């Protein structure tokens, strides 16, 4: 009997290893990853398959797709016919013929149209963004929809809470979505401060539903009366107030006031998330009023997340790099590129395009900073210029191509933004905006330290080992 039990045990372990290895063989897209997991499953009885089923399967995308297929998240434009009815797509402006392939790519992977007659106004730090946002909230007459990742309960947060509460008291419909992980950054939470008011509050993916560190709503959206919007990378809290002494560490950032047709798409993105959070689908004319022309910017809203069929932002970034002719300028707080992005950046540089990358010298996430350093030598070898801007920590995200095309919004150049979380960015064809952002970029470069290959190669062995170990965790940072 003992021999039979031992035989059954070994047979079960062998079957588990073969099934796990077969699963990796059939479903892993990267052959290197597939081969690695096959070896692990076949050479480490029990432990190999356990590692594979716990770490080797992308449950993030699978869970998000399940939401979409079950109807918890909306797909397509059918639920927001008012948006498409009012919008008119457009052609690219003169002088952007070399970006036509980028436009064709975005047309295929993004539902939202490229829309004319918009205006984006850059707003720097809390001093530039918060007064404009609060003024819009205070002047609202119909609806206010706000979505943010972090909504602190500090002095700045209380100003927004008071403004939102006052608006709701005077009859404005106010809805707020707060990410349930992002709200943990402060005590008391903004949700607690809003409790008892007429503001309708929804929490994105409460932690009790699975405790996900990923699948977070990283979008920053404010839409007032369906006509004026705000988006970018800035959360709500004292940390973005740069003209102060004391309090949390200062975080510099940039936000944008948005006017024109594309505000409808900001509204649609918010209402899709509201449906996911509350189950309440809203497609009312009050939320999608006719919007007059506001400027010359041609803009497309790109909402992305693990529930989408395509990795939209990732593909659009790759398309922009492949179409660039003169300059590519990148500013990001978190830079953890995958192999395709590294290859695209190097290829762009080898084509003769000037590629510049600005990173924070002081990062609020040391592990990310260490992992990034492990990637830089490969870029520097191929004439990509890398700069560290001095403290305080800078959270701004910009991608500028040829002084005409800009990508702004909430996404960083890391796996969390491009694969794991829900993001909102705007791709913009507008020479005036590109000029303003390029000027800011140039001023930042002038005040930054350029990193050389010799400096990266000159790191001590313990530092190189530390950075390399952090790089191993890149997919999870």
Write down the pTM of the prediction: 0.87
Give yes or no for residue 85 having a pLDDT over 60.
no
Give yes or no for residue 435 having a pLDDT over 80.
yes
For the residues 117-127, what does the mean pLDDT come to?
97
- The residues facing 200 across adjacent strands are 175
Domain limits, the chain: 2-57, 65-94+116-297, 312-476
The correct answer on CATH 3.30.870.10 for the domain covering 65-94+116-297 is yes
pLDDT digits (tens, 9 = 90+) for 372-425: 999 999 999 999 999 999 999 999 999 999 999 999 999 999 888 888 889 999
More confident residue, 176 or 93: 176
Give yes or no for residue 343 having a pLDDT over 60.
yes
pLDDT digits (tens, 9 = 90+) for 156-175: 999 999 999 999 999 999 99
Weakest-pLDDT range from 107-116, 136-145, 323-332: 107-116
pLDDT digits (tens, 9 = 90+) for 18-31: 888 888 887 777 67
More confident residue, 344 or 206: 344
Question: What percent of the chain lies above the pLDDT cut of 90?
Answer: 63
Token pair of 372, please?
Answer: 């990034």
Residue 364 near residue 251 (C-beta atoms within 8 A): yes
Alpha carbons 453 and 383: distance in angstroms, whole number: 10
Split at pLDDT 50, 70, 90, the class of 144 is very high
- Across all residues in the chain, what is the average pLDDT? 88
Predicted confidence at residue 417, as pLDDT, reads: 85
Residue 41 near residue 24 (C-beta atoms within 8 A): yes
Q: Coil, strand or helix: which one is 349?
A: helix
Alpha carbons 309 and 386: distance in angstroms, whole number: 33
Predicted confidence at residue 294, as pLDDT, reads: 92
Predicted confidence at residue 61, as pLDDT, reads: 55
Give yes or no for residue 60 having a pLDDT over 60.
no
pLDDT digits (tens, 9 = 90+) for 265-281: 999 999 999 998 898 88
Predicted confidence at residue 318, as pLDDT, reads: 96
Does this chain's domain 65-94+116-297 share its CATH topology with 312-476?
A: yes
**CATH architecture assignment, domain 312-476:** 2-Layer Sandwich (3.30)
pLDDT digits (tens, 9 = 90+) for 179-236: 988 888 888 988 899 999 999 999 988 866 555 667 788 999 999 999 999 999 999 9
More confident residue, 401 or 94: 401
Give yes or no for residue 338 having a pLDDT over 70.
yes
Residue 276 sits at φ, ψ, to 5 deg, of -65, -40
Cα-Cα-Cα-Cα torsion 90, 94, 99, 100, nearest 10 degrees, comes to 50
Q: Which residues of 137-158 are buried (b: 16+ CB within 10 A; e: fewer)?
A: beebeebbbbbbbbbbbbebbe
More confident residue, 139 or 71: 139
């Amino acid at each position: 009997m003992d021999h039979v039990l031992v035989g059954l045990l070994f047979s079960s372990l062998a079957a588990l290893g073969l099934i796990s290895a077969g699963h990796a063989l059939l479903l892993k897209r990267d052959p290197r990853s597939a081969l690695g997991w096959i070896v692990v499953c076949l050479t480490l009885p029990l432990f190999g398959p356990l590692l594979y089923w716990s770490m080797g399967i992308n449950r993030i995308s699978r869970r998000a797709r399940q939401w979409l297929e079950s109807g918890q998240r909306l797909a397509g434009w059918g639920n927001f016919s008012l948006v498409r009815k009012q919008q008119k797509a457009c052609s690219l402006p003169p002088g952007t013929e070399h970006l036509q392939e980028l436009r064709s790519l975005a047309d295929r992977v993004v539902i939202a149209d490229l829309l004319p007659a918009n205006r984006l106004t850059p707003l720097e730090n809390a001093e530039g963004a918060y007064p404009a946002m609060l003024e819009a909230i205070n002047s609202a007459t119909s609806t206010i929809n706000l979505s943010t990742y972090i909504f602190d309960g500090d002095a700045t947060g209380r100003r927004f809470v008071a403004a939102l509460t006052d608006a709701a008291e005077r009859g404005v419909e106010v809805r707020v979505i707060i990410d349930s992980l992002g709200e943990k950054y402060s005590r008391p939470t903004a949700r607690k401060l809003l409790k008892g008011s007429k503001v309708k509050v929804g929490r994105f993916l409460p932690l009790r539903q699975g405790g996900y560190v990923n699948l977070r709503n990283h979008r920053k959206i404010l839409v007032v009366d369906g006509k004026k919007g705000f988006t970018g990378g800035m959360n709500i809290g004292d940390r973005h107030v740069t003209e102060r002494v004391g309090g949390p560490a200062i975080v510099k950032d940039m936000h944008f006031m948005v006017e024109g047709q594309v505000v409808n798409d900001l509204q649609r993105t918010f209402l899709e998330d509201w449906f996911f959070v509350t189950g309440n689908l809203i497609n009312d004319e009050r939320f999608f009023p006719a919007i007059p022309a506001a400027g010359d910017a041609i803009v497309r809203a790109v909402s992305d997340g693990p529930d989408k069929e395509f990795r939209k932002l990732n593909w659009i970034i790759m398309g922009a790099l492949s179409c660039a002719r003169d300059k590519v300028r990148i500013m990001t707080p978190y830079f953890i590129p995958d192999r395709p992005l590294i290859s695209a950046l190097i290829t762009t540089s080898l084509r003769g395009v000037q590629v510049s990358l600005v990173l924070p010298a002081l990062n609020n996430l040391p592990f990310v900073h260490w992992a990034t350093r492990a990637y830089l030598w490969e870029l520097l070898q191929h004439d990509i210029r890398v700069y560290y801007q001095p403290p305080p920590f800078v959270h701004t995200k910009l991608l500028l191509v040829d002084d005409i095309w800009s990508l702004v919004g909430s996404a960083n150049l890391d796996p969390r933004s491009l694969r794991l979380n829900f993001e909102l960015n705007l791709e913009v064809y507008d020479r005036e905006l590109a000029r303003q952002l390029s000027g800011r970029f140039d001023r930042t470069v002038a005040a930054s330290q350029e990193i050389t290959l010799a400096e990266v190669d000159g790191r001590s062995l313990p530092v190189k080992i530390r950075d390399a170990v952090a790089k191993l965790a890149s997919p999870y940072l």
